[in-house]
């Protein structure tokens, strides 16, 4: 099975063998493209993987988009020009074999359930903290997709009703994504860099560096106190969201993935503290907050598993 | 089947005939009691209902509490002194027949699904707006109870991370319950009454009336502009929560019940407007926001249906 995780700046593909071990892996970066070129590149990427391992039975794609459960066009995509495209149909026509498509975070959670940090768990909330925040829900052992397939947009929970406007095409204000994402961290860091040219971040700005969440994370891990404080604030905002998810879902486990998860306890420590302060006591006692286990491969692995499940259903 | 809905100030019991029609109904009010007296009164209430209709097979109770899915004591109860009580075991011993127990809003949603506003729906968010806010979730056709049975505490979603402390035993701040409940409406009305003695609410306060959500609702329905404005503000706060639930659950339907629902469009109009402004466009287009259909009987009817389902499983 081939699984593809299509992010905003990179594509990662894996081939899983029948024992679900990663047999082959391929990655590339891409820049902004037209819709047709984006679809074509994803198809080409599958063909490239097949050159290495031979023909596979089915393909799975994780896309940063709202993916309808039934047939139909993608109504919303965060980073890729796939809106209005019925990607499942186009990919299946081009590849001539079954294709499964889902939201990228749903795929990542499938991967974590199959062989990562959520094995044997029944009720799991997953968040991926990157430029934006993606979400996925395992409820009573099933991936929850909602009435139309658009559920678990957990980055778009407002935690500050009068807060800053959210990012991208979200019309909300004070969403978790606006306050606890890598994008939010980058904005806070740029403000600090401009306000305090003496700071490490200020020096980096003067030296022409791009001030973003990744840089803040690097500096924080290297011991910079101001970068650590910025991450702690983002972690506290995250904790407010975790309290919401604890009270709404009574989960066993909340998994945190995505690039910002590299910050580890610098982020999770403050988040857990706020969760414990704010969630209902009977609920919070039992909720674990952990880092995702499969790292950046989770989405591609989960997409390949989704393809295998599709074949199993069709047989 | 007998179903009991035990609220903070009243108990409502129904007997359903085999066609699920309400055969008999009984209600009473109660005041603060000890744990033992509370349990005993609920048992007596069942016996009273049986005097009218003859012996039934099983009993269902909806309690304003976190009710564990498995055996075990209630860890948290909003209005009744039932914490630490394994109510299911005690009631079954006293009544000598099968007993099913669940959260009161879960019972109300069961009732709405069986014969109210949620018939044939698969993905429904229910909120009951009273002194507090209760929640229940029907996800992919199943009532969602979470890992331990404590899920859907939807009143305790923070929508204003730096907002006022929440009510009761919730350690949160700016929870939906703190800003969009009947309790929140009553607090805002008392502030207005003190600030503006000329207002209808101010006059009511001077006349010694209790200024609460019910009074504001009565005045608003009678045309008082200031009372209507207070309800509109609560409705806007509710709308922020509805945007969160829309984005998290992608539901077909959000049902609003509880005493505050009497305000009807005075409340739902502003709530729908904010939902439309703030939820992701692809999601909000499809979400209906409606009043619950069974009114105050929903919980007792749902509790009786739960008892019938328990019998069906045991047969």
Q: Name the residue ranges covered by the structural domains of chain A.
A: 2-110+296-314, 120-292
Spatial distance between the Cα atoms of A154 and B115, rounded to a whole number of angstroms: 32
For residue A10, pLDDT over 90 is answered with no
- CA dihedral over B227, B228, B233, B234, signed as positive or negative: positive
CA distances from residue B284 to A148, A179, B181, B248, B256 in whole angstroms, order as listed: 11, 22, 23, 11, 17
What pLDDT score does A168 carry? 83
What pLDDT score does A55 carry? 94
Tell me which fold the domain B119-292 belongs to.
Answer: Nucleotidyltransferase; domain 5 (3.30.420)
A120 touches chain B (CB under 8 A): no
Q: Which runs of E-coded beta strand occur in chain A?
A: 2-6, 10-16, 22-29, 59-63, 65-66, 76-77, 99-103, 124-129, 133-139, 142-143, 253-257, 288-291
pLDDT digits (tens, 9 = 90+) for A185-212: 999 999 999 999 999 999 999 999 999 9
**Which class for B54: exposed (0-12), middle (13-18), buried (19 or more C-beta within 10 A)?**
exposed
A242 touches chain B (CB under 8 A): no
CA atoms within 13 A on the CB side of A309: 15
A156 touches chain B (CB under 8 A): yes
Q: What is the mean pLDDT of residues B42-63?
A: 95
For residue B90, pLDDT over 80 is answered with yes
Mean pLDDT, chain B, as a whole number? 95
pLDDT digits (tens, 9 = 90+) for A206-261: 999 999 999 999 999 999 999 999 999 999 999 999 999 999 999 999 999 999 99
- Residues with Cβ within 8 Å of residue A254, at least 6 apart in sequence: A124, A125, A126, A127, A242, A245, A246, A287, A288, A289, A290
Between B299 and B9, where is the model more confident? B299
pLDDT digits (tens, 9 = 90+) for B213-269: 999 999 999 999 999 999 999 999 999 999 999 999 999 999 999 999 999 999 999
Terminal Cα-to-Cα distance of chain B (whole angstroms): 15
For residue A103, pLDDT over 90 is answered with yes
For residue B151, pLDDT over 90 is answered with yes
- Residues with Cβ within 8 Å of residue B263, at least 6 apart in sequence: B217, B220, B221, B231, B235
Tell if the CB–CB gap between A161 and B237 is shorter than 8 Å: yes
Report helix, strand or coil for B95.
helix
Spatial distance between the Cα atoms of B76 and B85, rounded to a whole number of angstroms: 10
CB-CB contact of A307 with A59 (8 Å): yes
The chain A residue lying nearest B166, using CA atoms, is A278
- Restricting to A residues 48-87, those with a Cβ less than 8 Å away from any Cβ of B are 66, 75-76
- Least CB-CB distance to B146: which of A145, A244, A249? A249
Render the burial of B247-270: b for 16+ CB within 10 Å, e for the rest. bbbbbbbbbbbbbbbbbeebbbbb
Cβ neighbour number for residue A210 with a 10 Å cutoff: 10
For residue A296, pLDDT over 90 is answered with no
Mean pLDDT, chain A, as a whole number? 95
Left if phi > 0, otherwise alpha if psi is -120 to 50, otherwise beta: which for A85? beta
Report helix, strand or coil for A233.
helix
CB-CB contact of A248 with B153 (8 Å): yes
> Which of A103, A157, A175, A273 would best serve as a mutation to test chain B binding (most B beta carbons within 10 A)?
A157
Q: How far is A166 from chain B (nearest CA, A)?
A: 10
Helix A298-314 and helix A104-115, axial crossing angle in degrees, nearest 10:
80
What pLDDT score does A115 carry? 95
Between A80 and B248, where is the model more confident? B248
Spatial distance between the Cα atoms of A136 and A143, rounded to a whole number of angstroms: 8
Tell if the CB–CB gap between B243 and A172 is shorter than 8 Å: yes
Spatial distance between the Cα atoms of B67 and B89, rounded to a whole number of angstroms: 12
- Restricting to B residues 219-238, those with a Cβ less than 8 Å away from any Cβ of A are 237
Q: Please determine whether the domains at A2-110+296-314 and A120-292 fall in the same fold group of CATH.
A: yes
pLDDT digits (tens, 9 = 90+) for B196-213: 999 999 999 999 999 999
CATH superfamily of B2-110+296-314: ATPase, nucleotide binding domain (3.30.420.40)
- Least CB-CB distance to A171: which of B157, B251, B278? B278
Q: How far is A150 from chain B (nearest CA, A)?
A: 6
B242 touches chain A (CB under 8 A): no
Q: What is the mean pLDDT of residues A127-137?
A: 95
What pLDDT score does B26 carry? 95
For residue B8, pLDDT over 80 is answered with no
What pLDDT score does A32 carry? 73
Tell me which fold the domain A120-292 belongs to.
Answer: Nucleotidyltransferase; domain 5 (3.30.420)
Q: What is the mean pLDDT of residues A267-274?
A: 98
């Amino acid at each position: 099975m081939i699984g593809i995780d299509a992010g905003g700046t990179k594509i990662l593909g894996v081939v899983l063998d029948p024992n679900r071990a990663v047999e082959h892996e391929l990655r590339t970066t891409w820049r902004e493209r037209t819709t047709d070129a984006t679809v074509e590149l994803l198809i080409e990427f599958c063909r490239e993987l097949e050159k290495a391992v031979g023909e596979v039975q089915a393909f799975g794609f994780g896309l940063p988009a709202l993916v309808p459960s039934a047939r139909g066009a993608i109504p919303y995509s965060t980073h890729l020009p796939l809106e209005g495209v019925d990607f499942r149909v186009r990919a299946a026509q081009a590849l001539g074999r079954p294709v499964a498509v889902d939201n990228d975070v749903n795929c990542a959670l499938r991967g974590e359930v199959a062989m990562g940090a959520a094995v044997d768990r029944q009720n799991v909330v997953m968040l991926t903290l990157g430029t934006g925040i993606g979400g996925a829900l395992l409820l009573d052992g099933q991936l929850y997709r909602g009435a139309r397939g658009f559920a678990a947009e957990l980055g778009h929970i407002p935690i500050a009703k009068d807060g800053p406007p959210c990012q991208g095409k979200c019309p909300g204000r004070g969403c978790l994504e606006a306050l606890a994402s890598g994008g939010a961290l980058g904005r806070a860091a740029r403000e600090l860099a401009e306000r305090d040219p003496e700071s490490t971040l200020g020096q980096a700005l003067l030296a022409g560096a791009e001030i973003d969440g990744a840089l803040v994370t690097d500096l924080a891990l290297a011991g910079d106190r101001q970068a650590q404080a910025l991450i702690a604030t983002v972690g506290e905002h995250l904790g407010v969201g975790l309290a919401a998810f604890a009270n709404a879902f009574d989960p066993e486990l909340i998994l945190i993935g995505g690039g910002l998860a590299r910050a580890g306890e610098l982020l999770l420590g403050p988040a857990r503290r706020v969760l414990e302060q704010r969630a209902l006591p009977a609920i919070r006692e039992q909720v674990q907050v952990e880092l995702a286990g499969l790292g950046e491969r989770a989405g591609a692995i989960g997409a390949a598993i989704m393809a295998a499940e599709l074949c199993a259903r069709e047989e």
